[in-house]
Amino acid sequence: ETGVTQTPRHLVMGMTNKKSLKCEQHLGHNAMYWYKQSAKKPLELMFVYNFKEQTENNSVPSRFSPECPNSSHLFLHLHTLQPEDSALYLCASSQGVNPGGRGSSYNSPLHFGNGTRLTVT
């Protein structure tokens, strides 16, 4: 049990489908992250939320749409994906940065879920 739960674990979708990935943490963290991990490629940061505010969008195509309704939940909405979007999508959480300050969040390691293995056909 990692403290961060991702559902579903596996997802197969066609290019015209719409689906959503869900991430949930009960660690009391205020920062949440989406990463993409493809074979033979490094981890790619996609989005970051800090205290429910999006602070990072790493030039991600608009066919990926994140949503963070509260500090415990993070979604990644998917539509009209391409086969090259097939990958392991990882969610992570950590202590956030209080607006206007840094606090001790720099000490806080990321806690990852076990990912959603996405296949786009």
Partner 1 sequence: AQSVAQPEDQVNVAEGNPLTVKCTYSVSGNPYLFWYVQYPNRGLQFLLKYITGDNLVKGSYGFEAEFNKSQTSFHLKKPSALVSDSALYFCAVRDGGGSYIPTFGRGTSLIVHP
- For residue 76, the minimal CB distance to partner 1 (Å) is 15
Question: By the 8 A CB rule, do 9 and 63 touch?
Answer: no
Question: Which residue from 16, 42, 69, 100 is in contact with partner 1, where contact means CB under 8 A?
Answer: 42
Between 76 and 90, name the residue whose CB sits nearer to partner 1.
Answer: 90
- For residue 80, the minimal CB distance to partner 1 (Å) is 27
Eight-state DSSP code of residue 99: T
How do beta strands 4-7 and 18-25 pair? antiparallel
d(CA 101, CA 87): 35
How do beta strands 10-13 and 116-120 pair? parallel
d(CA 17, CA 50): 29
Question: Which residue from 43, 57, 82, 119 is in contact with partner 1, where contact means CB under 8 A?
Answer: 43
Question: Which residue from 107, 118, 120, 121 is in contact with partner 1, where contact means CB under 8 A?
Answer: 107
Instruction: Please report whether residue 92 would count as binding partner 1 according to CB under 8 A.
Output: yes
d(CA 95, CA 112): 13
Residues in region 57-86 near partner 1 by CB under 8 A: none
Binding site for partner 1 (CB under 8 A): 2, 4, 6, 31, 33, 42-43, 45, 48, 50, 55-56, 90, 92, 97, 102, 105-107, 109-115, 117
